[in-house]
């Protein structure tokens, strides 16, 4: 899959990607057509869940991953897929609310490009059409599904900008100073400190290359003349980096010992990439954690009721899990529902709650 598929997947979609999930559980009602879940007064209907499950099955095929994971012998794959789908739909409602409040919309061109990347990864539109047909999903339905998933990326970007302060970005930048410093150095590598000191005493910027070719034990020095080129300062041995950065351009070091031997270093240049040039990179890297923290708090604040047929929320992990039964003898695996068949999953439905 191309670059955009992981964005489509949103790291196994929303639950796994952001390491956060859903909030408190509640008993479902006894209506003839109960909702699958209610999120802050917004209902996810049974029909909406039924319509979305095939889309997640298509996505699972594209990602070569299961649509949800059964948690025990009493939990079927169909139930796990329905639970996984509903988990993501609940989270989608929260993100969609934020998007509406802040005027965030997915660019249609991004959806088109994403679908094009999916088609290309499968070998062409024909194969993609076969995958959709296998789950009775139309192209238009999947395009709308892609838009919904891509909205998470846009909301994450907006929340990241909101949650991560300039001070936090600068702190990350300073902590990774060597990563953002481009170091260009020449060196002569020798076996003993005595040899290294002798060369250091003789070396000048003008004769450095000749001395390197004559005395350095570094492989390939005949072609490089000891020139290491420009690299991230963090990519060198820490002792070498410290020795090089202690110099001014054109200066030559005293012998520096590393695991490779003894180096005489000529600093050519050391340039730190400005913060503004790497700000977007830092925001992108800090974003998932900042978004996860924000989303976890949002989930805990939300009023979320889940139909018991799809499980309940673990108040500690905030994950949607199947309802299990217990006895005085020993814990049992997830209970096997009895009663009418759930049209959404193909599995038997749990009986309605009592009381």
pLDDT in tens, 253-272: 999 999 999 999 999 999 99
Which residues does 84 contact at the CB level (< 8 Å), separation at least 6?
Answer: 13, 15, 56, 67, 68, 69
Q: How far apart are CA 264 and CA 200, in angstroms?
A: 6
> What's 72's domain CATH number?
1.10.4030.10
Q: Are residues 266 and 317 in the same domain?
A: no
Q: Are residues 127 and 13 in the same domain?
A: yes
How many other CB atoms are found less than 10 A from the CB of residue 128?
A: 21
How many other CB atoms are found less than 10 A from the CB of residue 203?
A: 21
Q: Are residues 328 and 286 in the same domain?
A: yes
How many other CB atoms are found less than 10 A from the CB of residue 302?
A: 17
Report whether pLDDT(249) > 60. Answer: yes
Q: How far apart are CA 212 and CA 219, in angstroms?
A: 11
Q: What is the pLDDT of residue 324?
A: 67
Q: Is 202 a member of any domain?
A: yes
Residue 175 pLDDT class (50, 70, 90 cuts): very high
Q: Is 351 a member of any domain?
A: no
How many other CB atoms are found less than 10 A from the CB of residue 341?
A: 11
Domain count, the chain: 2
Q: Are residues 8 and 106 in the same domain?
A: yes
Residue 30 pLDDT class (50, 70, 90 cuts): very low
Q: Which of 355, 305, 351, 307 is nearest to 325 (CA)?
A: 351
Tokens (6 digits) for 75: 């939990």
Q: What is the pLDDT of residue 345?
A: 40
> What's 194's domain CATH number?
3.10.50.40
Q: Are residues 260 and 157 in the same domain?
A: no
Q: How far apart are CA 303 and CA 94, in angstroms?
A: 10
Q: Is 133 a member of any domain?
A: yes
Q: Are residues 22 and 121 in the same domain?
A: yes
Rounded to the nearest 5°, which phi and psi values hold at 238? -55, -35
243 neighbors 253 (Cβ within 8 angstroms): yes
Tokens (6 digits) for 216: 């350095």
Q: What is the pLDDT of residue 123?
A: 92
Q: Are residues 61 and 129 in the same domain?
A: yes
Q: Are residues 38 and 139 in the same domain?
A: yes
Report whether pLDDT(337) > 80. Answer: no
Average pLDDT over residues 302-323: 84
Average pLDDT over residues 213-236: 96
Q: Are residues 257 and 294 in the same domain?
A: no
Q: Are residues 159 and 296 in the same domain?
A: yes
Report whether pLDDT(350) > 70. Answer: no
Q: How far apart are CA 214 and CA 210, in angstroms?
A: 6
Report whether pLDDT(348) > 90. Answer: no
Q: Are residues 291 and 186 in the same domain?
A: no
Q: Are residues 142 and 185 in the same domain?
A: no
Q: What DSSP state is assigned to residue 104? A: -
Angle made by CA atoms 8, 312, 6, in degrees to the nearest 5: 10
* Coil, strand or helix at 254: coil
Q: What is the pLDDT of residue 318?
A: 72
Residue whose entry in the numeric block shows the structure tokens 């639970």: 83
> pTM score > 0.75 for this model?
no
Q: Look at 25-39, 149-163, 169-183 and tell me which has the smallest mean pLDDT.
A: 25-39
Q: Is 168 a member of any domain?
A: no
Q: Is 112 a member of any domain?
A: yes
Tokens (6 digits) for 128: 């993609």
Q: How far apart are CA 229 and CA 213, in angstroms?
A: 16
Q: Is 339 a member of any domain?
A: no
Burial track 225-235 (b if 16+ CB lie within 10 A, e otherwise): bbbbeeeebee
Q: What is the pLDDT of residue 1?
A: 28
Q: What is the pLDDT of residue 142?
A: 95
Q: Is 146 a member of any domain?
A: yes
Q: Which domain holds residue 261?
A: 178-273
Residue whose entry in the numeric block shows the structure tokens 């002792």: 239
Going through the chain in order, the beta strands assigned E by DSSP cover 37-39, 42-44, 181-190, 227-232, 256-258, 261-272, 304-306, 312-313, 320-321, 324-326, 331-334
Q: Is 240 a member of any domain?
A: yes
263 neighbors 146 (Cβ within 8 angstroms): no
């Amino acid at each position: 899959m191309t670059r955009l598929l992981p964005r489509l997947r949103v790291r196994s979609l929303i639950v796994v990607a952001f390491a956060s999930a859903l909030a408190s559980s509640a008993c479902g009602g006894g209506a003839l057509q109960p909702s699958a879940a209610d999120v802050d007064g917004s209902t996810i209907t049974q029909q909406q869940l039924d319509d979305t499950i095939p889309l997640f099955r298509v996505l699972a095929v594209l990602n070569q991953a299961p649509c949800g994971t059964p948690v025990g012998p009493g939990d079927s794959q169909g139930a796990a897929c329905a639970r996984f789908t509903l988990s993501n739909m609940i989270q989608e409602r929260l993100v969609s609310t934020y998007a509406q409040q802040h005027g965030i919309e997915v660019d249609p061109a991004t959806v088109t490009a994403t679908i094009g990347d999916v088609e290309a990864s499968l070998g062409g539109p024909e194969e993609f059409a076969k995958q959709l047909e296998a789950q009775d999903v139309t192209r238009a339905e999947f395009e709308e599904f892609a838009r919904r998933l891509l909205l998470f990326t846009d909301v994450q970007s907006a929340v990241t900008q909101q949650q991560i302060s300039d001070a936090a970005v600068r702190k990350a930048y300073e902590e990774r100073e060597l990563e953002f410093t481009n170091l260009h150095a020449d060196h002569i590598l020798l076996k003993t400190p005595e040899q290294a000191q002798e060369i250091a005493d003789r070396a000048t910027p003008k004769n450095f290359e000749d001395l390197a070719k004559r005395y350095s034990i570094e492989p390939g020095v005949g072609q490089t003349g000891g020139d290491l080129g420009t690299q991230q300062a963090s990519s060198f041995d820490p002792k070498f980096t410290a020795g090089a950065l202690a110099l001014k351009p054109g200066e030559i070091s005293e012998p520096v010992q590393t695991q490779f031997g003894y180096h005489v270093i000529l600093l050519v240049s050391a340039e730190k990439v400005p913060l503004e040039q790497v700000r977007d990179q830092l925001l992108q890297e800090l974003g998932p954690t900042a978004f996860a923290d924000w989303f976890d708090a949002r989930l805990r604040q939300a009023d979320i009721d889940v139909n018991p047929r799809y499980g309940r929320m673990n108040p500690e992990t905030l994950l949607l899990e199947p309802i299990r039964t217990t006895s005085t003898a020993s814990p049992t695996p997830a209970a096997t529902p009895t009663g009418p068949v759930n049209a959404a999953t193909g599995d038997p439905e749990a009986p309605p709650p009592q009381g």
